[in-house]
Structures are given as C-alpha cells and as structure tokens.
Amino acid sequence: MKKLLVLILAFGLLCANLCAVCEDDASALAKAAGLDIVGSDNAEGAIFCDYSVDSSTHSSMLWSDAAQIYTVSGDPATVSQLYVDALALGGWESCRYIVGKKARISFGTKSKKVCGTLDEYLDQMQQALGVTATASAAATAGSADSHDYILNTNSKKFHYPDCPGVAKMKDKNKKAFTGKREDVIAMGYDPCGQCNP
C-alpha cells in the first residue's frame, strides 16, 4: 500500500512539473514576442493550448497549466508564430484552432477534424497558418520528448526506471536507454502495461 501511495505522489509531482514546463516555456515565448500575458484561475485544471482567429488583423491564444489560464492577443503573424512554437514544445492534453465560433481542426477533443497525435496536429497547423516552428522551439521540443527508459532485451518491453517491473528484471536483460518513445518502439520494443511509458 505504501508503494502505491509513493507511486501516486511521484506521478502527481511529475505531472505538475511537466505542466509547469509547458507554461513556463509558452510564457517565455510570449514575453520574447513582446506580448502582454493576462492570467486567470484554471478552475477545471485542463492543460490546453488554443488559437483563435478573431479577424484579419487580430488573433489570440490561450494556454494553461494546472492552476492558471494565460491569454495573449495581437496581430495574427505574431500570435500564430507563438502558437506553432508552443505546439512544438508539446505537453498539451488538447488544442483547438478556432475561426470565428468554429473549431476547424483539433487535437485531443472532438470536432470536425481530429488528429491522431500532437505532432500531426502541429503539421496541420503549420500548413494552415503558413508558419514553421522556430529552431529554438523545435530544439526544446526535441529535448522535451527525450526520456530515460529501461529496456528488457528478453521480453522486448520498455519501462520507466521506477517501474516495479524493472526490479523483477534480471540484470542481464536490463539495458538503459535515453531518447524518444517513438525511437524505442521503432527498435521493436513494446511499452510496459504497468507503467505505460
């Protein structure tokens, strides 16, 4: 029971840290673009990043962490670049592209067109907005996607290092790996069903 409680607390701290990274990076991008950020309480705690086209001369972006919702507004060129850069940083549970009152393309929510992954959504947003993620955002996104894993060379499963299954693994079958989840899967490994890496 104690182990389960410790795992739940550790998972909660990990989620809070990931959300803080998303918010801090998006806020830093907004400040660098010279945009004023307005904050409000996030009563629902949802982690999202939305872009809205209000008119040909004005657009806005909303994003959140577990405690706050942040809003910026400005000319479409600046705000759309900020949105694509924020998407490249990743970590969002849902994203929407809104024109007027219609959500045209969304990730993680139901609408007219739902993308399978955040990367697919980012690709479509770059095409729709005619904006490419800046090199700094892409580099940050690449490092954010990198994680530590333990590979079981016998069962061809991969785990988070703190997974209980790692403790049961024979040393000769353990292999440490740092990189992207997609890279591990491409190497022929399947995610552990217990820790869900």
pLDDT (tens digit per residue) in 125-168: 989 899 888 866 655 555 556 778 899 999 999 998 888 889 89
Q: How many angstroms separate the CA atoms of 43 and 16, rounded?
A: 15
C-alpha dist (Å) from residue 134 to 89, 139, 178: 11, 9, 24
Q: What is the pLDDT of residues 70-127, one digit of tens each?
A: 999 999 999 999 999 898 888 888 899 998 888 888 888 777 677 778 888 888 898 9
Confidence category of residue 13, pLDDT binned at 50, 70, 90: very low
CA-wise closest residue to 96 among 74, 73, 125 = 125
pLDDT value at 8 more than 50: no
Identity at 36, one-letter amino acid code: D
Backbone angles phi, psi at 155, to 5 degrees: -85, -10
Burial-class residue 116 by CB neighbours within 10 Å (0-12, 13-18, 19+): exposed
Q: Among the listed ranges 5-9, 22-26, 161-165, which one has the minimum average pLDDT value?
A: 5-9
Yes or no: say if 28 and 74 are a contact pair by the CB < 8 Å rule: no
pLDDT number for residue 14:
36
What average pLDDT does this structure show over 41-64? 89
pLDDT value at 30 more than 60: yes
pLDDT value at 18 more than 50: no
Please give the structure tokens belonging to residue 6: 């410790």
Give the domain ranges of the chain: 2-142, 145-191
